[in-house]
Amino acid sequence: MDLSVTPELAELRRTVRDFLAKASPEAEVRRLMDTDEGYDADVWRALAADLGLAGLALPERYGGAGCGFVELGVVLEEAGRALLCAPILSTVVLAAPTLLALGDEAACADYLPAIAAGETVATLALTEPSGLPSADAVTTTATRGADGWRLTGTTAFVLDGHTATLLLVPARTGAGLGVFAVEARPGAGLGDGAPGLRRRPQATLDQTRRQATLTFDATPARLLGEEGAAGPALSRVLDLAAVATATEQAGGAARVLDMAVDYAKTRVQFGRPIGSFQAVKHKLADLHLEVESARSAAYAGLWAADEDPAGLREAASLAKACCGDAFVRAAAENIQVHGGIGVTWEHPGHLYFKRAHGSAQLFGNAAHHRQRLAELVLAGLPD
């Protein structure tokens, strides 16, 4: 396993960080939190079309750059640092890999070029109202009639589900589990977008990341790939989503650690910077170790996504558990170091605290992934 940073990756990081410093400062994050859409369409198009980030991990024949998850991880880590309000997880991490994994060449040719160009916001509506991010928990059904397939059911906690123009919906048929595409009209507040589709934005702790409940009532849909054969594709996409979220968490954890260290250097108490006190130094040193360990776990997950498909499940659970815990702790300790101001609305610390707790629940929390990792390890031991 080679986790070294190449000059190309370093340059990619510098480019993305410079762009986000201008496109996603704290004031802009706060502005977007109060909008209906939750993101700036112009910034998203610039990220996709000008920088090519939406298609970074897509094949060149679909308008992508032909890179891998390692390169995409650099973007995700910087997005986590900047609290980027954009449909990157929903479109780039969930929807695009689902289309690729299903192996439907016609659907890929129809949808992926527009995703790479930033023209289509897409998402995967996998999570049922129970909150379980699992293909086994899918209860939405699809029936085929004379006029094609129609979906009936409800999905919840759908990332960017209120604005996405392409909804990929897992549903059960007589042959098993399939994935169906629902094309919706663009724009929040302009109606639900497709016959029989109802979208309801959900109130979330983390206002920088929008989620919605989608209800389908005989909604017309297009079958993607082979009927009843979507299980393995969805399993891989969930693992990729766990790795991607972990990488975002690693970036956010590093950012709040930097905030705490900078404040400890400048805040003076009893005639000395508080960072010179042993209790604060030890707190920050322990936090630095945890954040760097989490980053290593995230990088291992990114490497496995590209180079070790057989080990992806273990790497994904390890990354999600480590990075979720590290971000939550780092965000809380940052508030502690800042004292009372850390929990005020005017300070950015609480925004990262909410993102930490919100992302900790996405695609399985740390306890879920530790349990899954233990089961995978035990299953691999000799009898």
Count: domains in the chain: 3
Round to whole Å and give the CA distance between 142 and 252. 39
For 60, phi then psi, to 5°, come to: -65, -30
Same domain, 250 and 359: yes
- Which of 193, 224, 255 terminates a domain? The answer is 224
Domain range enclosing 150: 122-224
Residue type, 225: G
Same domain, 339 and 240: yes
Q: Is 1 domain-assigned?
A: no
Same domain, 235 and 358: yes
Same domain, 269 and 370: yes
Q: What is the pLDDT of residue 3?
A: 66
Q: What is the pLDDT of residue 87?
A: 96
Q: What is the CATH number of the domain that holds 300?
A: 1.20.140.10
Neighbours of 277 (CB within 10 A): 14
Q: What is the CATH number of the domain that holds 47?
A: 1.10.540.10
Please report where in the chains the tokens 């906690």 appear, as a residue.
157
> How much is the pTM?
0.94
Strand spans (E) along 118-147 = 122-124, 141-145
Q: What is the pLDDT of residue 206?
A: 93
Q: What is the pLDDT of residue 353?
A: 95
Round to whole Å and give the CA distance between 68 and 65. 9
Q: Is 330 domain-assigned?
A: yes
Q: How long is the chain?
A: 383
Q: Is 319 domain-assigned?
A: yes
Strand partners, 250: none
Q: Is 270 domain-assigned?
A: yes
Round to whole Å and give the CA distance between 109 and 118. 15
Q: What is the pLDDT of residue 193?
A: 82
Burial annotation 202-238 (CB, 10 A radius, 16+ → b, else e): eeeebbbbbbbbbbbeebbbbbbbebeebeebbbbbb
- 226 with 173: CB under 8 angstroms? no
Which contiguous run of DSSP H or E holds residue 278?
helix 278-307
Strands 176-183 and 211-224: antiparallel
Please report where in the chains the tokens 């094949």 appear, as a residue.
59
Neighbours of 343 (CB within 10 A): 13
Same domain, 185 and 325: no
Q: What is the mean pLDDT of each run of 10 residues along the chain (383 residues)?
A: 80 96 95 93 93 95 95 97 96 97 96 96 88 83 94 95 96 95 71 86 93 95 95 95 98 97 92 90 96 96 95 96 97 92 84 96 93 89 68
